[in-house]
A and B are shown apart, each in its own frame.
Chain A
């Protein structure tokens, strides 16, 4: 069943897009991430203009993270003050990222920047997560208790001023690293067209020592707000948000996310991080493959901005 997308200006198979939404939604619900880093490449692969894909995925991520955040809210598994502190940095970062996005686009090097950013970020984050979670699983197998909180081994981050107590997370930490993390996530998210949950979750766990149970819900709040903000900004400045495409993706996404969240609860935190690390690594390697292997077609054609 084909349907013509008004902004992307091409027909797509509704069922295909719905299944893509379901699959990415399942993964996003399972790991507590937005799934933008999977959805954007998938849409580009089926022939949708990259700019339209990035802009429309933002609203899809907003929908699935809202439904996810509500679930975590009901279980009281999110830290609202921590999320607000992250948002302070996040919104500034998103604005700065959109500015750089526009600049790079004018210079014609946006595609390369996006590919390299995906490659470096996904491979390093994926690799780190895999190594860490394998170690944690080995420790658990070896009979030793998993060291989730190590009060003695404070990072230098924990010596910074402007300390604040976050009751739900049971941490007492400076707000400076939280703002910085929020800024970086917002900044990277705007350039790469992703929510950044897969970066935020490990950053909060390893750097700020936020308990695993709270981290996903809190990260979803940040994703929700930055992606809602990104949808509005993209629509207002570039006119590239395809509401019809977004709606089909959302419907698939929110349904998939519900099943994903239930499946995710059957795994331990370490197993989930290992799986997510593998997934992130695979997408990263896919970008590496495209950059290193000689492409079948060396030329690309695209209309100059504003003429679309």
Chain B
């Protein structure tokens, strides 16, 4: 036992200060543009593991986990219960600043990459992402098998907004990797953080961050901006459009 601890201590002492590996990443685009024919897109992430001259190759090879987090928002989760014979939303939880979009891509099963404590500490994987709930004024993360938390994750996955792909990262060479980040058609607009973690032999070696942006452009942007900034005029214009459409139809289809 003591020998094992010593071995771990030596290993930590040797690996920690060195920071021998560096991650280099780039995205195929940093802006996903939403046009009127937008039906989802893939952003490709390329990167390589740079190793300085002193470092030897890792025996177990490298593992990469890419975590993409969309704009955060407070999200309500309701649970229905039967009251007087009808199903009503009885109980609810607010997930405070939960990611509206979350994708975790890895090159193999995440639980094989590192031990559970390391994964929890680094919030690696959907199941280990912090989702603080507001419970009677206090904000705290719930236990993993909390039904509200599980339902929240399940519903987000069903809507393609949360995703965990165990073979989402491909190594082209032992140091060169590639991952496709899926942006679904219902992706919320805003800034997305892309976090790339490098693991080897169960330890986090390096980490790098980049970002991408999902924006509406062209006609979509004009309409969305008008609706937000000039609500009254937008409403008047829509009402006028409705009346014009109705009038046109009655003229076109006039019998006499």
| B111 interfacial contact with A, CB 8 Å | no
**23 A-B interface contacts by CB (under 8 A):** A9-B188, A10-B186, A62-B239, A67-B246, A67-B247, A70-B246, A108-B76, A228-B242, A232-B232, A235-B227, A236-B235, A241-B238, A243-B238, A246-B241, A247-B245, A254-B246, A254-B248, A258-B249, A298-B87, A299-B151, A300-B78, A304-B75, A304-B94
Residue contact A301 to B152, C-beta cutoff 8 Å: yes
Cβ-defined partner of A295 (8 Å) among B80, B92, B155, B237: B80
- Given known A299-B155, A303-B76, contact A66–B35 (CB-CB < 8 A): no
Residue contact A9 to B186, C-beta cutoff 8 Å: yes
In the complex, chain B residues whose CB is within 8 Å of the CB of A271: none
In the complex, chain B residues whose CB is within 8 Å of the CB of A250: 241-242, 245-246
Residue contact B76 to A235, C-beta cutoff 8 Å: no
| B39 interfacial contact with A, CB 8 Å | yes
A254 to B248, CA, bound (A): 9
Residue contact A243 to B34, C-beta cutoff 8 Å: no
Q: Count B interface residues, CB 8 Å.
A: 61
Stretch of B23-31, B175-183, B205-213, B216-224 with 4 or more beta carbons under 8 angstroms from chain A: B216-224
Cβ-defined partner of B92 (8 Å) among A9, A108, A254, A290: A108
Q: Which positions 14-63 of chain A face chain B at CB distance < 8 Å? A: 59-60, 62-63
Beyond the given A70-B246, A231-B239, A239-B231, could you list 20 further A-B residue pairs with CB under 8 A, ordered by the A residue number?
Answer: A3-B36, A4-B38, A7-B224, A63-B249, A64-B246, A65-B246, A108-B78, A232-B239, A233-B235, A236-B232, A236-B235, A240-B227, A246-B242, A254-B248, A300-B80, A301-B156, A303-B76, A304-B73, A304-B94, A307-B74
| A234 interfacial contact with B, CB 8 Å | yes
- Given known A66-B242, A307-B73, contact A71–B250 (CB-CB < 8 A): yes
Chain B: minimal CB distance from A126 (Å) = 19
Cβ-defined partner of A257 (8 Å) among B151, B227, B236, B249: B249
| B37 interfacial contact with A, CB 8 Å | yes
Residue contact B243 to A62, C-beta cutoff 8 Å: yes
In the complex, chain B residues whose CB is within 8 Å of the CB of A10: 185-186
Q: Which 7 A-B pairs have the closest CB atoms?
A: A235-B235, A66-B246, A254-B249, A299-B151, A67-B246, A232-B235, A63-B242
- Given known A299-B148, A302-B76, contact A62–B87 (CB-CB < 8 A): no
In the complex, chain A residues whose CB is within 8 Å of the CB of B216: 6
Residue contact A4 to B76, C-beta cutoff 8 Å: no
In the complex, chain A residues whose CB is within 8 Å of the CB of B82: 294
Cβ-defined partner of B249 (8 Å) among A2, A231, A255, A304: A255
A294 to B87, CA, bound (A): 7
A176 to B219, CA, bound (A): 48
A10 to B39, CA, bound (A): 8
Residue contact A4 to B148, C-beta cutoff 8 Å: no
Q: Mark B residues whose CB is within 8 Å of A.
A: 34-39, 73-82, 85-89, 92, 94, 100, 148, 151-152, 154-156, 185-186, 188-189, 216, 219-221, 223-224, 227-228, 231-232, 234-239, 241-243, 245-250, 253-254
Residue contact B155 to A300, C-beta cutoff 8 Å: yes
Cβ-defined partner of B227 (8 Å) among A74, A239, A247, A297: A239
Residue contact A60 to B224, C-beta cutoff 8 Å: no
Residue contact A60 to B242, C-beta cutoff 8 Å: yes
A236 to B85, CA, bound (A): 39
- Given known A11-B39, A291-B87, contact A243–B78 (CB-CB < 8 A): no
Closest to B235 in A: A235
